[in-house]
């Protein structure tokens, strides 16, 4: 399962890229507004620091406006994925943009029927919002399970991108259910590393080690790493470099 990072904050993206865990980025108008910078500059900036897919959402809600904005957003960088809302006109725009060779992420999906329509509209990604479904008392992850099953049954190629992620559990369940991508807020990504027993175990190892008085590196050992080169990690396809 690919990890996208759900933020428009370039500094946070740069920090997390260095973990080697990030395969792409998603934004939406609310995240752009929260960040406060110009949208086109923000998207170009994010695309400059990593080559993974970067979702940029249209703000028009009519077909012509969405296609026009979508073409413009796609012209900003090769790795832009145009995000359109799951409405009738949004899916018409999706089909048109897909015919133009532009990757499309259909967002605001809350039902199986909507996910079926998005696949028929040639969406590259469908974004079901699990957290917002949970907020209404439904179980968002059940929708993921059903979409993965339905796309599998019919051989549909649209990737299931789990969005509106609120917890580590959401990420774990997304992976167990066979989702293709999970877009994760930076805070949740960092929580994925954590387990109380890991911290406790490490403290105990360090205390026992200190008692030995040993050091793994012999005295006077000279580092073999070239410190002038910062270690830069990226996804296995090598799409990240600074």
Hey, which residues are catalytic here? 83
SS3 content of the chain, % helix, strand, coil (to 5): 50, 15, 35
SS3 of residue 43 by DSSP: helix
Tokens (6 digits) for 30? 């609310």
Tokens (6 digits) for 162? 């789990």
Tokens (6 digits) for 241? 């470099």
Q: Does 80 engage in binding with ligand E4P (CB under 6 A)?
A: no
Block residue for tokens 């099953």? 149
The correct pick among 42, 103, 124, 183 for binding ligand E4P (CB under 6 A) is 183
Nearest alpha-carbon partner for 128 in 105, 103, 149: 105
Q: Which is nearer to ligand E4P, 99 or 187 (CB)?
A: 187
The correct pick among 3, 6, 148, 156 for binding ligand E4P (CB under 6 A) is 6
Q: Does 103 engage in binding with ligand E4P (CB under 6 A)?
A: no
Q: Map the footprint of ligand E4P across residues 11-30, applying CB under 6 A.
A: 26, 28
Task: Compute the least distance from the CB of residue 204 to ligand E4P, in Å.
Answer: 37
Nearest alpha-carbon partner for 70 in 124, 111, 16: 124
Count of positions on this chain that bind ligand E4P (CB under 6 A) = 11
CA distances for 176 relative to 2, 99, 171, 220, angstroms:
13, 33, 9, 48
Q: Which is nearer to ligand E4P, 76 or 165 (CB)?
A: 165
Task: Compute the least distance from the CB of residue 136 to ligand E4P, in Å.
Answer: 12
The correct pick among 163, 174, 181, 182 for binding ligand E4P (CB under 6 A) is 163
181-184 and 159-162: which strand pairing?
parallel
Q: Does 164 engage in binding with ligand E4P (CB under 6 A)?
A: yes
Binding piece for ligand E4P, criterion CB under 6 A, among 32-40, 70-78, 126-134, 186-194: 126-134
**Residues near ligand E4P, by CB under 6 A:** 6, 26, 28, 107, 127, 129, 131-132, 163-164, 183
């Amino acid at each position: 399962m690919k990890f996208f990072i759900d933020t428009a904050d370039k500094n946070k993206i740069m920090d997390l890229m260095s973990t080697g865990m990030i395969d792409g980025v998603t934004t939406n108008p609310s995240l752009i507004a929260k960040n406060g910078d110009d949208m086109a500059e923000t998207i170009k900036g994010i695309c400059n620091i990593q080559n993974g897919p970067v979702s940029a959402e249209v703000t028009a809600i009519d077909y012509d406006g969405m296609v026009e904005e979508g073409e413009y957003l796609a012209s900003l960088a090769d790795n832009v994925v145009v995000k359109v809302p799951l409405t009738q006109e949004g899916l018409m725009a999706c089909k048109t943009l897909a015919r133009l060779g532009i990757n499309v992420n259909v967002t605001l999906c809350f039902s199986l029927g909507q996910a079926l329509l998005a696949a028929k509209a040639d969406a590259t990604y469908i974004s079901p919002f699990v957290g917002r479904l949970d907020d209404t008392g439904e179980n968002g992850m059940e929708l993921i399970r059903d979409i993965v099953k339905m796309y599998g049954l019919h051989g549909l190629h649209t990737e299931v991108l789990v969005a509106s992620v609120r917890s580590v559990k959401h990420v774990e369940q997304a992976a167990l259910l066979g989702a293709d991508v999970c877009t994760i807020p930076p805070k949740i990504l960092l929580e994925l590393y954590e387990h109380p027993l890991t911290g406790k175990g490490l403290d105990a190892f360090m205390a026992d080690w200190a008692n030995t008085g040993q050091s793994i590196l012999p005295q006077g050992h000279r580092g073999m790493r070239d410190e002038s080169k910062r270690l830069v990690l990226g996804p296995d396809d090598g799409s990240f470099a600074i």
